[in-house]
Amino acid sequence: MRAQMRNLGVMAHVDAGKTTISERILFLTGQIHRIGEVHDGQAELDHLPEEQARGITITAAAHTCEWDGHQLNLIDTPGHVDFTAEVERSLRVLDGAIAVFDAVAGVEPQSETVWRQADRHGVPRLVFVNKMDRAGADLDACIAEIRDRLEATPLLLQLPLVEDDVFVGVVDVLSGTCWRWHSDDPTDVVPSSTPPALAADVARLREQLVDRIAERDESLLESWAGGVAGIDEIRAALRRLTVSGEVVPVLCGSALAGIGVQPLLDAVVAYLPSPDDVAARSADHSPTDQATPDPGAVPLDAQPFAALAFKVVHGQGGKLTWIRVYRGTLHKGDKVRNASTGANVRASRIVRLMAGKTQDVGSVAAGDIAAVFGLGDSVTGHTLCDPAEVVEFESMVFPEPVMTVAIEPVTSQDQEKLSVALSRMADEDPTFAVRTDDDTGQTLIAGMGELHLQVTLSRLQDDHKVSVRSGQPEVAYRETIAQPVFGLEHKLNKQTGGPGMFARVVVDVEPTGSVDVGELEFVNATSGGVVPAEFARAVADGCRDAMSQGPRGFPLVGVKVTLTDGAIHSNDSSERSFRIAGGQALRLAAERAGTTLLEPVMVVEAEAPEDHLGAVIGAINARRGEVGELTERNGASICRAIVPLAELFGFTDALRSVSQGRASATMTPAGYRPAPDS
């Protein structure tokens, strides 16, 4: 069964057509009987009211369907940068992906971001160049950008079919099959042989394609050189190269017009991996101190159960945890261990994911994706396993929120409802955070950008029925140590009526230069047992506590602490004493060294006609932007710049104003940089 299973996602820049493609897939696989359009707010996969109102995907939506005897677990991911965590956690559990590109816009900023995410997780991809029916569509230019900007090896499998300057279908380069659509109905297609006018081009491209496959696959090279390579052997070699990530097959079409989706589904089945194909890679997520079973030695279904929770949703039926099963089988009613918390929980109900709906099933086996009720406090990144054989998979790392806003309930009766709602939303979204300001007592919510916070406020009102007032958004600053401090000695010596508290620590505190990472780098360099190992760990914990707030009131990042010496008292020393002393030592070091204020910056890619380029650059410079690369795409000028996030409030409106509405911009996070003293 697993050989006939495909766990795949659809990923791309916002408005490239991901959800439109997913809707056509659901229609062609018989899951829906009417195609819902994103621009009408009727898309099946955009089931949240906010998604329907805004015409964008906000949360990843999953759906199970079938094509050509294969089960497809399809996840449609958001394209907006504010919701990149949805892409991250989806790619962590998927075996393959369809990367969608706009045939006119080519490789856009968020396309590049999600591509790098897929590279990091080793996810094989197909490319679908969408919107081939638009004026200015350029398949060759898009492929060149994929090769140059994404450093990939794209292999074109189709030739566009154009009649009277209208894109009407595609021709398969390997088989010569011509797919021509006669209307906007995606089922109205008649496969035929290659048109005579394209026969020479198809033959030439086929030879080039097989040459490029053969030079990377020794098995095919021998057959090809001997003149006996058949189409099945060529496709098998292409599948091997795709699964290994060496090449990326490229297809084209127009999802809105219904052109090219059936060949895309055929390519998913033919070239993207099954769970068995990537079983070894999936097992690599096991911790290094535990032996990973050889996937070929014992059938995956027969191994002890192990799964990764990758999403949590609170709904009317309770808390629903999405899981990817890597080994074993989970049955309804089974007791499992949450290896991340140590708690035993029971799977009270198992369901298939059908966008906003669910379908009950009795069990879920290795390689599959499903959702489970009853898993207690499980959250994104937790490992669920057989209580008799505990394993813990590598968790997930998400970016820190970069923008905050203060909120308060409109009425005192809403206070309790607000607390519950915020707790659930933080449970669901690892890039959403809630805290209370120590000075003002205000509730602060933090997210990845203006849109993220706007959606959060709307969901509080619409989903949780809580009315709130909100302030102006503010960016989340950070601090880092300005210079090293060596040999700082700090002694905690408190005597009370009972046991006292004693801890002496000597530390070196240095900046690491890695301002994008908030994790503490701690080294225990003591010797001779002057500070026992458990007390040294307590010092590290105390330093992590102190990093939550630096001298200027913002979190500390990029800090290395080396414990070089210390002393204990036989009666009064404890882990608590050393934890307090470690935190106090780091605070003293930060005050002595001084800190540099860091602000989040964004990569801004602005597109405008050439005659408005000067005004666009002026608008960027006025916001402390650093203009970098200037390029051209389809007659428009593209300006890439680094701009502080604090200066980008209202930037899109300002850009339209200086360009008579003809310029647009996209933004992606670029880490943190020192902020000016002002």
Q: Residue 379 corresponds to which tokens in the numbers above? A: 């959250």
Task: Extract the residue ranges of the chain whose pLDDT is less than 70.
Answer: 33-34, 36-57, 224-228, 279-297, 355-356, 497, 515-518
pLDDT at 286 (0 to 100): 44
What's residue 288's pLDDT? 35
Number of H helices and E strands in the chain, helices first, is 16, 35
Task: Give the C-alpha distances (Å, rounded to integers) separating 251 from 172, 174, 264.
Answer: 9, 12, 7
Q: Which of 255, 327, 269 is nearest to 70 (CA)?
A: 269
pLDDT at 666: 81
Q: Output the six-digit token pair for 363.
A: 């069990």
pLDDT tens digits, 490-542: 999 987 767 789 999 999 999 987 766 567 899 999 998 899 999 999 999 99
Taking residue 549's Cβ as centre, other Cβ atoms within 10 Å add up to 15
The domain locations on the chain are 2-277, 284-385, 403-475, 479-593, 599-674
pLDDT of residue 62: 84
Alpha-carbon gap, residue 285 to 283, rounded angstroms: 5
Alpha carbons 270 and 94: distance in angstroms, whole number: 17
Q: Which tokens go with 437? A: 């300001």
Q: Do 599-674 and 403-475 have the same topology in CATH? A: yes
403-475 has which CATH code?
3.30.70.870
Q: Which fold has domain 599-674?
A: Alpha-Beta Plaits (3.30.70)
> And the tokens for 230?
């058949």
For tokens 């009987």, name the residue. 33
Q: Does CATH number 3.20.20.105 belong to domain 2-277?
A: no
pLDDT number for residue 652: 81
As a CATH number, domain 284-385 is 2.40.30.10
Nearest 5 degrees, angle CA 372-CA 123-CA 426?
Answer: 40
Strands 349-354 and 329-331, bridge-based pairing: unpaired
The pLDDT score that the predictor gives to residue 667 is 82
How many Cα atoms are found within 13 Å in the side-chain-facing hemisphere of 640?
12
pTM score: 0.80
CATH 3.40.50.1000 fits 479-593, yes or no: no
pLDDT of residue 48: 61
Are 267 and 1 in contact, with CB atoms under 8 Å apart? no
| DSSP bridge pairs for 159 | 171
Question: What contacts 203, CB < 8 A, 6 or more positions away?
Answer: none
Question: In the prediction, which pLDDT does 284 show?
Answer: 43
Q: Which long-range contacts (CB under 8 A, 24 or more apart) does 34-39 make?
A: 35/186, 37/256
Whose structure tokens read 């990326």? Answer: 248
Q: How many CA atoms lie within 13 A of 283 on its CB side?
A: 19
Token pair recorded at residue 343:
């708690």
Q: What angle do CA 309, 519, 502 make, to 5 degrees?
A: 115
As a whole number of angstroms, the distance between CA 664 and CA 615 comes to: 13
CB of 366 closer than 8 Å to CB of 327: yes
